[in-house]
A and B are shown apart, each in its own frame.
Chain A
Amino acid sequence: MQPDHHDIELKVNGTTHRRGVESRMLLSDFLRHELLLAGTHVGCEHGVCGACTILVNGAPVRSCLMLAAQANGQQLSTVEGLANDTGELHPVQQAMHDHHGLQCGYCTPGILMTMTAFLKENPAPSEEEVREALSGNLCRCTGYQNIVDAMMAAAQAMRAAAS
């Protein structure tokens, strides 16, 4: 079959990109190989591990389960957009650092994207709610406890900053 191509235009972390993509290019591969935003990690490529989680129009989704062609006209956020222009970490990133919430770091971008969206929607979660929100992101290093601690601390820091 002749590969068919589609011209797409999308916004990633506020920057507009235009590219031609093959139909079968996954959004995760598009971000990594075409836009060179390799912070989005690719783990299982069938929606189980959560490493490739990004935000599409503010909602966390698996970028390995979307086609790049489907992102035409959408607004995306990836881990590269979390820290501000001066390099200051997002409170969720800072808390992960402070609480030793990562070891190998492979799952971390997906966890950061899932949890920044979650804490925006639920700024004062219980520990149980945090664990539930984390359930779609696999981490094989930490045992999750330090990630949960980091998220509780991040939520508190963000509430303090907002008040």
Chain B
Amino acid sequence: MKPAPFNYIAASSLAHALSLKAEHGDEARFLAGGQSLIPAMNFRLARPAVLIDINGVGHLAGVDRSNRAEIRIGALTRYRDLERDGDFLKACSLFADALPHIAHPQIRNRGTIGGNLSHADPASELPAIAVAMEATMRIKSATGERQMAASEFFVGVLSTDLQAHEMLVEIAFPTPKPRTGACFMEVARRRGDFALVGIAVVMTLDDARRCSTVRLALCGVGETAVDVSKVAFPLIGQSCTTETIEAVAAGVRDAIAPSGNVHASADYQRHIAGVLAVRAISAAHQRVRHAA
């Protein structure tokens, strides 16, 4: 229950952190909030030779809304900072719904957005939110930078497209269009536990209050966040009614292939996904109507 030995280096700048990562590659891990990495190290499931602490690196944390088209979140932004940012929560209501489900306040005081997304736990809320909101992941290395869609970033259980020399530095969420409603819901065994199933819904209505776009993503039911937006396409151009929403929920149940675990059988997960789909789509729809 103690970490294996490693070298600890507190990076003094982003350039310093990236050059260390370029030098040590897969042997090194970035230490941000440490709320997933340090437990893994305490269990010796992770044994990095070098730990590059980025907590002292400036300009990696914070919410930037200066560009009206997107909301940019620095990778080192902590959950708790977002929880206390009323303007941000209003703009990204999925976060307002999801943040209280992420572990406990003590964990949210340390855990970071970039660390969570780079860790890519399939039961985590944020990858599903990033996929549902069609976020852009901005990635840097000592030699360059690139960006990619959240849907391509997550490649498997605890696995992303990040290369050994790269760091996720910023996540950009498109500013929600007018008449957009969103909702995140999950079921967990206990408050703060890993989600058995979670669902993120983003829906935009047109002038006639018909659905014009809809995005659906789930966590906890696959190797990564699962994008099931396609099953909601029949809603487009339609009004949301009990029947149309129930039809989408049936599609969600069929579209996923959860593996089941000690807390929930695959059938139970599939059932819950359908129940949450009905509730979350209805809630997102209600929220647009109230906002519009």
- Which residues in A have some Cβ–Cβ distance to B below 8 Å? 1, 3-4, 6, 22-24, 26, 29, 45-47, 50, 53, 56, 59-62, 64-67, 69-70, 72, 114, 118, 132-133, 135-136
Residue of A nearest to B41 (CB): A24
The smallest beta-carbon distance between A155 and chain B, in angstroms, is 17
The 23 sampled A-B contact pairs (Cβ below 8 Å) are: A1-B5, A1-B6, A4-B7, A4-B8, A23-B6, A24-B2, A26-B42, A45-B39, A47-B103, A47-B107, A50-B104, A56-B109, A59-B109, A60-B106, A61-B109, A62-B35, A62-B106, A66-B34, A67-B53, A70-B31, A70-B55, A118-B105, A136-B103
Say whether B104 contacts A61, CB under 8 Å.
no
Cβ distance A121 to chain B, nearest Cβ, rounded Å? 10
In the complex, whether B1 has a CB less than 8 A from a CB of chain A is yes
Interface residues contributed by chain B, number (CB under 8 Å): 31
Q: Is the CB of B39 within 8 A of A135?
A: no
**B residues less than 8 Å from A70 (CB atoms):** 10, 31, 34, 53, 55
| Residues in B neighbouring A59, C-beta threshold 8 A | 80, 109
Rounded to whole angstroms, the CA-CA distance of A135 and B192 in the bound complex is: 8
Q: Which of B223-252 contact A (CB under 8 A)?
A: none
User: Does B80 lie within 8 Å of A23, measured CB to CB?
Assistant: no
Contact B39 A65 (CB under 8 A): yes
Q: Which of A24, A26, A29, A60 has the most CB of B within 10 A?
A: A24
Q: A67-B38, A69-B53 are in contact. List 17 more A-B contacts (CB 8 A).
A: A1-B5, A23-B8, A23-B51, A24-B3, A24-B6, A26-B42, A45-B2, A46-B39, A46-B43, A61-B110, A62-B106, A62-B107, A67-B8, A67-B51, A118-B105, A135-B191, A136-B192
The A/B interface has a contact count, at CB < 8 Å, of: 95
Bound-state Cα–Cα, A132 to B100, Å: 9
Q: Which residue of B lies closest to A135 (CB)?
A: B191
Q: Which residues of A contact B42 (CB under 8 A)?
A: 26, 45-46, 64
Give the docked Cα–Cα distance between A65 and B106 (Å).
10
Contact of A65 among B4, B35, B100 (CB under 8 A): B35
CA distance A105 to B105 in the complex (A): 22
On whether the beta carbons of B106 and A114 are closer than 8 Å, the reply is: yes
Q: Which of B2, B43, B80, B106: most chain A Cβ within 10 A?
A: B106
A interface, by DSSP: helix, strand, loop or mixed?
mixed
The answer to whether A65 and B8 touch across the interface, beta carbons within 8 angstroms, is no
Contact B34 A65 (CB under 8 A): yes
Please give, as numbers and ranges, the residues of chain A lying within 8 Å of B103 by CB-CB distance. Answer: 47, 136
Chain B residues with Cβ below 8 Å from A22 are 5
Q: How far is the CB of B217 from chain A (nearest CB, A)?
A: 26
In the complex, the answer to whether B8 meets A6 with C-beta atoms within 8 Å is yes
Cα A60 to Cα B110 with chains together (Å): 9
Q: How far is the CA of A70 from the CA of B49 in the complex (A)?
A: 17
Cα distance A3–B31 in the bound complex, in angstroms:
18
Query: Across the interface, which residues of A come within 8 angstroms of B53, CB to CB?
Result: 67, 69-70
Chain B residues within 8 Å of A67, by CB: 8, 31, 34, 38, 51, 53
A46 to B35, CA, bound (A): 8
Name the residue on B nearest A26 (C-beta).
B2
- List the 3 shortest-distance A-B pairs measured between CB atoms, nearest first: A136-B104, A23-B8, A46-B39
B241 to chain A, nearest CB (A): 34
- Rounded to whole angstroms, the CA-CA distance of A102 and B10 in the bound complex is 40
Pairwise interchain contact A47-B6, C-beta atoms closer than 8 A = no
Interface centre among A47, A53, A69 (most CB of B within 10 A): A47
- Which of A23, A62, A65, A69 has the most C-beta atoms of chain B within 10 angstroms of its own C-beta? A65
What chain A residues lie within 8 Å of B55 (beta carbons)? 70
Asked whether, in the complex, the Cβ of A61 is within 8 Å of the Cβ of B6, the reply is no
B191 CB contacts on chain A under 8 angstroms: 132, 135
The answer on a CB contact under 8 Å between B105 and A50 is no
Which residue of chain A has its CB nearest to the CB of B80?
Answer: A59
Q: Are B106 and A61 in contact (CB under 8 A)?
A: yes
Per-residue 0/1 for B23-54: is the Cβ within 8 Å of any A Cβ (1 yes, 0 no)? 00000000100110011001100000101010
Q: How far is the CA of A29 from the CA of B3 in the complex (A)?
A: 12
Cβ distance A20 to chain B, nearest Cβ, rounded Å:
13
**For residue B107, which residues in chain A have a CB less than 8 angstroms away from its CB?**
47, 62, 65, 136
List B contacts of A65 (CB < 8 A): 34-35, 38-39, 107, 110
